[in-house]
Amino acid sequence: MKLTSHMIVLVTLALTCSANAWETLPTTAGPTAEPASQEMIELGKQLFFDPRLSLTGTVSCNTCHNLMEGGDDGRETSMGIHGRTGPRNAPTVWNSVFQGSQFWDGRAATLEEQAQGPIVAAPEMGMPDHNHALQRIAKIPGYQASFQSVFGSENALTLENAVNAIAAFERTLITPHSDFDRYLDGEEHAMNAQQIAGMGRFESVGCTECHDGPALNGWQPGDVESVFQEFPRSMDSGLVDRYQLAADLGRFAVTQAESDKHLFKVPTLRNILLTAPYFHHGRVSTIHEAIDVMAQTQLDTELSGAEIAEIAAFFAALDGRFPELPLPRLPSRAGESVIDEPEVLDE
């Protein structure tokens, strides 16, 4: 068979990519200090879906991290109690276990630490403090029984146990076996020619400088130090003003260190086509725009429309297989509310 020039390019790209450190997504979160029981995971799922953890009883973890779709909410920035919106886009919770820190600025080192934040954040769930949230849950007999059963003591309904359960559930939110993973495992037809070309283009223009590793976010199994990258790098690009990319100082807000200005955690590219709009502020609407922004502001490279389309096609191969996820039955207080009316009206 005579190879055309286009076929030669594809073969070369495929060989180049296969020789480099592309990695499949793990199918499990890996060992933890204290392995979670299925009962603990189920309790965490209940808490994740329960809006009664919010001041108004209207916002759950799943409100902003919708597991029925991409693990986000499709908004520029998420909407919490009383219609309040925060300053940043909600990252996906799918595959969140495969990253070195949580939140865009990495201010939470673990999933457990991250789970504490939204409960008392004014634009999110809005509880005045964590004790208030725990007292709310303690009014529900079913939760009292579940905490005692899972953690083995009468005084088990604590903040530490609650966030440990939520994190245990979140560690099950993994989407392996994408077409990309299958291609890496040797299924040569799992990705089409445009996707293979896009994989090569993604590497050749320098995207893998930041987006490598199994989750394509710079994380590697066993990492204990979080890695942050400057965004945007090229302040001279007209896209910086067009999309207001430089308004947020990133990790600087956490550390107040000048060297941390405009540093952000590298987001995963797994299921990226399901999580528009893009970037920390959600002001980039489409994946084609996002690829163009990254090429120009991070790599000082201007891609053609065809090259952008190749990379977008590669991204389509990163959609994984979502696990079966039956909705939980929440413990009920039929005919009674755990929410006090003055709290709901408090603006």
Q: How confident is the model at residue 254 (pLDDT cuts 50, 70, 90)?
A: very high
- Pair 132, 156 in one domain: yes
**Alpha helix positions (H), the chain:** 5-18, 38-49, 61-64, 111-120, 130-138, 141-151, 159-170, 179-184, 193-204, 238-242, 252-255, 287-298, 305-316, 341-345
Q: Does 209 participate in catalysis according to the annotation?
A: no
**What pLDDT is stored for residue 21 in this prediction?**
65
C-alpha distances in angstroms, 66 versus 86, 99, 261? 17, 19, 30
- Pair 118, 221 in one domain: no
Binding residue per annotation — 17?
A: no
**What pLDDT is stored for residue 223 in this prediction?**
86
Compute the average pLDDT of residues 50-78: 97
CATH number of the domain to which 268 belongs: 1.10.760.10
**What pLDDT is stored for residue 3 in this prediction?**
41
Number of domains in the chain: 2
Q: What is the pLDDT of residues 182-201, one digit of tens each?
A: 999 999 999 999 999 999 99
Whether pLDDT at 116 is above 60: yes
Contact indicator for 133, 120 with CB cutoff of 8 Å? yes
Of 15-24, 190-199, 313-322, the range with the lowest mean pLDDT is 15-24
- Pair 137, 150 in one domain: yes
- Pair 156, 62 in one domain: yes
Whether pLDDT at 8 is above 70: no
Q: Is residue 328 part of a domain?
A: no
Compute the average pLDDT of residues 109-133: 97
- Pair 302, 340 in one domain: no
Neighbours of 330 (CB within 10 A): 16
CA distance 145 to 141: 6
Neighbours of 62 (CB within 10 A): 18
CA distance 90 to 193: 33
Binding residue per annotation — 130?
A: no
CA distance 249 to 219: 22
Q: Is residue 33 part of a domain?
A: no
The full 3-state SS of 44-70, as one line of letters, equals HHHHHHCHHHCCCCCCCHHHHCCCCCC
Helix (H, G, I), strand (E, B) or coil at 271: coil
Tell me the residue range of the domain where 218 lies.
Answer: 5-28+175-316
pTM score of the predicted model: 0.92
- Pair 121, 161 in one domain: yes
* Two tokens, residue 156: 């088990």
Binding residue per annotation — 294?
A: yes
Catalytic residue among 39, 76, 113, 124: 124
Q: How confident is the model at residue 15 (pLDDT cuts 50, 70, 90)?
A: very low
Whether pLDDT at 19 is above 50: no
Q: How confident is the model at residue 225 (pLDDT cuts 50, 70, 90)?
A: confident
Q: What is the pLDDT of residues 135-164, one digit of tens each?
A: 999 999 999 999 999 999 989 999 999 999
- Pair 59, 96 in one domain: yes
CA distance 295 to 209: 12
